[in-house]
Amino acid sequence: MVDTSVTLSGLRLTNPVIPASGTFGFGYEFAELYDINILGSLSFKGTTREPRFGNPTPRIAECPSGMLNAVGLQNPGIDKVISQELPKLRQVFQKPVVANISGFSIDEYVECCGKIDAQECVGIIEVNISCPNVHNGGMSFGTSPESAAQVTRAVKAVTKKPVYMKLSPNVTDIAAIASACEKAGADGISLINTLMGMRIDIRRRAPVLKNVTGGLSGPAVFPVALRMVWQVFEAVDIPIIGMGGVSSAQDVVEMMLAGATAVEVGAANLKNPMAAKEIIEELPRLMEELGIERLSDIIGGAH
């Protein structure tokens, strides 16, 4: 019998598969399709201080082997997430969740992280300093080691739970930013968020997305994500949650060999709502085929 469990900052997950923020809502919607308690955990929709409608439409565009999104952090705001969304989720999901927090200022990150830290169902706080689809916030904090460290320190000062900094791939040196977060007290690193891209409607001769640019996700970004997880594993001594184009059990194993302890599944959920379930069901068979008894043994195993 193979062992699919992994441990993130003292939190034991029955398997490493976590639906990624922004692709799984607040989780309870998917409970109508299958028992979501089979998931290792789930990262709920990116949450800000104030409610956000997000960017104007159209904000989704198809691409070969992926998609562009410029949703822009649509969410009901931290207070409603705590009072309305999390109670609904707790009715159908009994495991600790990953709380994805975004902000437009350090004060906002601090306020939201302090509030979410007090929620019993939250196991890990994932601080998004990497969103490419909002103006004057998000990614601007994740593009330099100094600003990434500044957010990390501020958030760690008001939280007791493990803090994972979610990094942008739209940088020149991902390892330097991860190292700065580690030095500032981060408990772990999540990467990657989407890559910036765009499409043009050749008949209208205008960008497809109202926002002009959007975040590219899906299988097309997997090799980039894998390379960055590899680089960050070499640079830090804290756990990594790897993501970016993961759509199969094989991708999960590959991510873990590159250095990820757990793996988030994003765009695949939008294409196939059963994607995370199917990956979890396939993992034990693949482990047996590869002669892996304990999945945790392969973390960083390709280095």
Give 134-200 as a DSSP string.
STTSGGGGSSSHHHHHHHHHHHHTT--S-EEEEPPSSSS-HHHHHHHHHHTT-SEEEE--PEEE--E
**pLDDT single digits (tens) 102-129:** 999 999 999 999 999 999 999 999 999 9
Q: Residue 190: its pLDDT value, please?
A: 98
Q: Residue 32: its pLDDT value, please?
A: 96
Q: Residue 135: its pLDDT value, please?
A: 55
- First and final C-alpha spacing in the chain: 26
Helical axes 106-117 vs 145-156, angle rounded to 10°: 40
* pLDDT tier at 137, thresholds 50, 70, 90: low
User: What mean pLDDT do residues 47-52 have?
Assistant: 96
The Cα–Cα gap between 202 and 181 comes to 42
User: What mean pLDDT do residues 57-83 have?
Assistant: 95
Element (H or E) spanning 101, and its range?
strand 97-101
The Cα–Cα gap between 191 and 251 comes to 15
The Cα–Cα gap between 264 and 246 comes to 7
| Higher-confidence position of 299 and 139 | 299
In degrees, to the nearest 5, what angle opens at C-alpha 284 toward C-alphas 280 and 287? 120
The Cα–Cα gap between 187 and 79 comes to 25
Q: Answer yes or no: is pLDDT of 166 > 60.
A: yes
Q: Answer yes or no: is pLDDT of 212 > 80.
A: yes
Q: Residue 141: its pLDDT value, please?
A: 86
Residue spans of the domains in the chain: they are 6-298
Beta pairing class for 97-101 and 122-128: parallel
Q: Answer yes or no: is pLDDT of 164 > 70.
A: yes
Q: Residue 130: its pLDDT value, please?
A: 81
Burial 121-158 (b: 16+ CB within 10 A, else e): bbbbbbbbbbbbbbeebbbbbbbebebbbbbbebbbee
* DSSP string of 256-282, one letter each residue: HHHT-SEEEE-HHHHH-TTHHHHHHHH
Residues belonging to the chain = 303
Residues identified as active-site? 131
The Cα–Cα gap between 124 and 129 comes to 16
> Number of C-alpha atoms within 13 angstroms, CB side, residue 217?
30
Element (H or E) spanning 11, and its range?
strand 11-13
The pTM of the full predicted model, rounded to 2 decimals, is 0.96
Cα of 155 vs its chain's centroid, Å: 18
ω into 219 cis (within 30 of 0):
no
The Cα–Cα gap between 130 and 133 comes to 9
* pLDDT tier at 134, thresholds 50, 70, 90: low
Burial 253-262 (b: 16+ CB within 10 A, else e): bbbbbbbbbb
**Residue 146 dihedral angles phi and psi, to the nearest 5°:** -65, -50
Q: Residue 142: its pLDDT value, please?
A: 87
Q: Answer yes or no: is pLDDT of 133 > 60.
A: no
Q: Answer yes or no: is pLDDT of 88 > 60.
A: yes
Q: What is the third-level CATH fold of 6-298?
A: TIM Barrel (3.20.20)
In Å, how far are 38, 79, 108, 188 from 82, measured between CA atoms?
Answer: 23, 5, 16, 24
ω into 38 cis (within 30 of 0):
no
